[in-house]
A and B are shown apart, each in its own frame.
Chain A
């Protein structure tokens, strides 16, 4: 009796799985799917919504964009769970490529991170040319600094600048980590009247809701380069090599570069990304 019931239960389970399988039916279309892992700053800027539909129309591929911090994007790619990366964490990217996980790393676009802060500017850093000096002033005056703290590309660059100053931020009362995305971190800095390092795209798109102002921009320490990396298919046979290459080539094609350079001009009055000439 119990045995019979067990088999009946198995039957139901099997049927359910079958229904699920049929509903999915995606295994067939797999080689048309490209998994792109990218950073939240690219996704939140809206740039991909301008790029991806054009690429999909040109090639017939379907791009599945997963937006996470650069750290997680690379951690996933190290397991072969992505086909192509669009990230901005140069040091980690080099290690990634050197370790054989990725191939064909190419610069797609760049811009500058900006330091934003409250208009009262308690650390007196407004208009400074060097991010390093601005960071030193913030620490010296014990002004609140809000960090992403999430291993993202933005966080990596911020740590690099702190490294240049030689200051310790760990456990300092003026240094707070959110562990959140850029938009949320900006909101926290806004509420608490703190400074934070942000990419320009996210800041500009949120500007009307923030009282934070840009205090340091185009400092050479804040150069922010986005690269595309194709995942090494020798290491991970399931990777969609052709699709990854097609997408990377598209980003660097005249058409792709033109879309990137023009992006943002209409809504913000200035471009958000520069392309290499």
Chain B
């Protein structure tokens, strides 16, 4: 118990003094996971809306597949991405392994199905008539889709939060493709695991608290947008 209090004090001290290494790690976490979330939102909302609005043979199977991928183990994604990015792998020539870009790629693959799955559900829960009405009133297809996205913005924002929450707190893939390299690819989760194994429990707890604070800040911004849009 005293460890947690020590950790809390350490966290406050690190934030108060503006420890540059902790700041850099936090900023990298935010940058990497933010970029991954942004890309997954473009990919996921696009794919999700497309799947929800079209009817084709095997649609149910595709939705099942997307929903399954929502819970795909990050560590497996990390392993597969590592093998692809290895020097001996198909994308080895780009030299991306152990770079922040590698983490962005892995995290995008983790977050995209989450955003896609929630987007499909979000569009599906809108009344069918809305779509027909819009088309009947002379909306183009693009205008109709835009209208649906605006109508479904509350669950879509929830999709963004779920995607971001999933990747910023993820460790298995980040440590594998990033390598936890000091000053390059060390993010909050991998730093926490490393400090724990080094036995620096106060620092590990302090980093966890900073991670939680970061998630609270990002989610309050998104929730504010969500509430305003109601």
State the A residues within 8 Å of B (CB). Answer: 2, 5, 9, 12-13, 16, 19-21, 23-24, 26-27, 30, 33, 35, 40, 44, 49, 62, 64-67, 79-81, 180-184, 186-187, 205-206, 209, 236, 238
Contact = CB atoms under 8 A, between A and B. Distances in A.
Query: Is the contact region of chain A dominated by helix, strand, or loop, or is it mixed?
Result: helix
Contacts of B104: 20, 23
B200 to A, nearest CB: 9
Nearest to A182: B197
A184 B88 CA distance: 32
A205 B87 CA distance: 35
A16 B108 contact: yes
Chain B, interface residues (CB within 8 Å), range: 35 or more
25 contacts: A2-B56, A5-B50, A5-B54, A12-B46, A13-B43, A19-B39, A20-B39, A24-B94, A26-B99, A27-B93, A33-B95, A64-B98, A64-B179, A65-B179, A65-B182, A66-B179, A79-B86, A79-B87, A80-B88, A81-B87, A181-B197, A183-B196, A186-B199, A205-B199, A209-B199
Contacts of B42: 12, 16
Nearest to B82: A81
Given A19-B39, A33-B95, A79-B86, A66 B181 contact: yes
B99 A183 contact: no
A238 to B, nearest CB: 5
Nearest to B195: A183
A26 B179 contact: no
Contacts of B156: none
Nearest to A236: B87
A33 B97 CA distance: 11
Interface in B88-130: 88, 92-101, 104-105, 108
Contacts of A67: 180
A222 to B, nearest CB: 22
Contacts of A26: 94-96, 99, 101
B95 A30 contact: yes
Given A20-B105, A81-B86, A81-B88, A35 B197 contact: no
Nearest to A6: B50
A205 B179 contact: no
Interface of B: 35, 39, 42-43, 46-47, 50, 54, 56, 86-88, 92-101, 104-105, 108, 179-182, 184, 196-199, 201
A11 to B, nearest CB: 10
Nearest to B32: A23
Contacts of A13: 43
Counting chain A CB atoms within 10 Å of each CB, the highest count among B54, B101, B180 belongs to B101
Nearest to A5: B50
Given A20-B39, A24-B96, A183-B198, 19 more contacts: A9-B46, A9-B47, A13-B43, A16-B43, A20-B104, A20-B108, A23-B104, A24-B99, A26-B94, A26-B99, A27-B93, A27-B96, A30-B95, A62-B184, A65-B179, A81-B88, A81-B97, A183-B199, A184-B196
Counting chain A CB atoms within 10 Å of each CB, the highest count among B56, B100, B181 belongs to B181
Contacts of A12: 42-43, 46
Nearest to A17: B105
Contacts of B100: 23-24
A166 to B, nearest CB: 33
Contacts of B54: 2, 5
B95 A9 contact: no
